Structure 1
Amino acid sequence: MISAAEVRSARFTPTKFREGYEPEQVDALMARVAAGLDAAATGEAPGVTAEDVLNARFKATKFTEGYDQDQVDDFLDRVVASLRAGEGAGAAAGPAGQPAEPIDAARLRSELASLQPRRMRAGYDPDAVAAIVNAAAGSLDLHARGLRPSPGADEVAGAQLPTTWWTPGFDRHAVDALLARVVTTLRG
């Protein structure tokens, strides 16, 4: 798990005359993430979620100094993975903080088949979703037979799925809800 100190000490290469991210906006998100990680370390609600970080948008710079976009994106990918792992460490939650409903392998595969990729919105890469869902379905089969599943609940909860923007992708909330149900089942 990434620490608040690591977030605070992160430095990004400045850009000029090439696209970068507006430094003040990146710094504001990083401060919010660090404060959230500090809160989580003391047992409080972090106040920032993986979804918040995924949905963050920064103004692009070109002729003024900005932060290197690839470095920022790579670091925030680590933050998202860490936050997801932390979110999965508690109960995988359904609506209104209720535990997500358990799911079996056949139902998981059926729900994956019912997902429709969508364009021009942030979504998860369909191939990556299929890979984790198929691995999770195998884990659910093992779990149902009383065997140790692999990947386990923590690996499913911490799965880092690439986000698509211009190519079709699966709705992130729907996929996250499916994976939360897998985690609930594997921990049950």
Structure 2
Amino acid sequence: MTASMILNQKFTVTKFREGYDMSEVDSFLDELGMVAETHEPAELEAMLREIPPKRFQVTKFQNGYDMIEVDEFLDAVEAGFTERLRELHTGATSGTGSLGASGSEPFSQSARVPLSVADLHEPKFTVTKFREGYKKQDVDDFLEELRRSVARATAIELQSIPDRILNAQFKVVGFFKEGYDMLEVDDFLDAIGTKARNSR
């Protein structure tokens, strides 16, 4: 992962759900890019102290960057910086595609983790009763369909998952009927859709 890979990283743009302020993320990526190929341990150590607690302004109903994608990318950069710092201290190279190493693979390849059935474990959504929620059976049936698709692991089915999530519709139940918290379900499916896209 070179400086250019960091600076050219693309994230899904959100609008009708929460996202990170695009200018703040871009500005931080500029900082990371400047440090990416440094041979100064002090600069890497200083940046490593900034990455984990970094927070961006959250947007809604205006363009922002997908928060999960940004967080996962920063995790990968942090791991790369940590390995690069280790190499500088020991003079060793891991050959696993760390930051600045020759022949390293871009984030989209080296840090890619395939979607698995474990990602679709039965999540514990908050059950609503005195406010609207998604019909529990609809959500449970949809998640079971996704689990079966991932278990079969055919290319066509895996590639269709993001679109199936995007087009999913669940019946909304009203007061005095138990349902699943709609925001929790939406956030969970957003995360699954993002990982499925990155698994392609």
TM-score by length of 2: 0.42
Considering only CA atoms, is the larger Rg found in Structure 1 or Structure 2?
A: 2
TM-score by length of 1: 0.44
